[in-house]
Amino acid sequence: MKKTSVVLTFFAAAALIGCGSTSDYTPPADASGEQIFSTACSECHKPLKGDVAMILSEKVANKDALKNKIQNGSMRMPAFKNIQGDAADRLADYLLANSEVK
Ligand code: HEC
């Protein structure tokens, strides 16, 4: 039930925004991972509870896969080409520390 509504939220958000797009969001130099997530990601990935940002599948629950996902997006998720370097590391660290892995 919970999982279904998360998936439906993804579909609804993707339908509104379109697919295969690129986001030109650029994080401020001193933004924390949490700030980047709440600005750039939470419109689609609504935090599940205070300390749980996302549910990650096992295959993306590592830093390289997360950065790859963020920078390349997917059919339904925009590519964030401007989240690079330290900002990408901070965002990936934040997600790894604040997500449930399924
Ligand atoms: C326009 C909506 C949208 C935005 C904005 C968005 N995402 Fe996504 N994201 C999706 C959708 C839809 C999926 C599920 C389909 C897929 O995996 O491609 C997804 C999947 C993911 C996954 C894979 C989850 C898994 O377990 O396989 C990760 C990680 C992720 N997003 C991280 C982020 C991060 C970090 C940001 C912010 C920089 C972000 N997303 C911004 C729509 C979005």
**How many domains are there within the chain?**
1
pTM: 0.85
pLDDT at 56 over 60: yes
Among protein residues, the one with the nearest Cα to ligand 1's atom 9 is 77
Give me the domain span that covers residue 60: 2-101
- Cβ atoms of residues 67 and 92 within 8 Å: yes
Query: Which residues, judged by CB distance below 6 Å to any ligand atom, belong to the binding site of ligand 1?
Result: 10, 13-14, 17, 40-41, 43-45, 56-57, 60, 66, 69-70, 74, 76-78, 80, 83, 91, 95
The predicted-structure confidence for 12-49, as pLDDT tens digits, reads as follows 655 555 557 899 999 999 999 999 999 999 999 998 88
Residue 67 belongs to domain with CATH number: 1.10.760.10
Q: How far is CA 61 from CA 13, 27, 50, 58, 101, in A?
A: 23, 22, 19, 5, 7
Q: How far apart are alpha carbons 70 and 15 in whole angstroms?
A: 19
CA of 30 to the centre of ligand 1 (A): 23
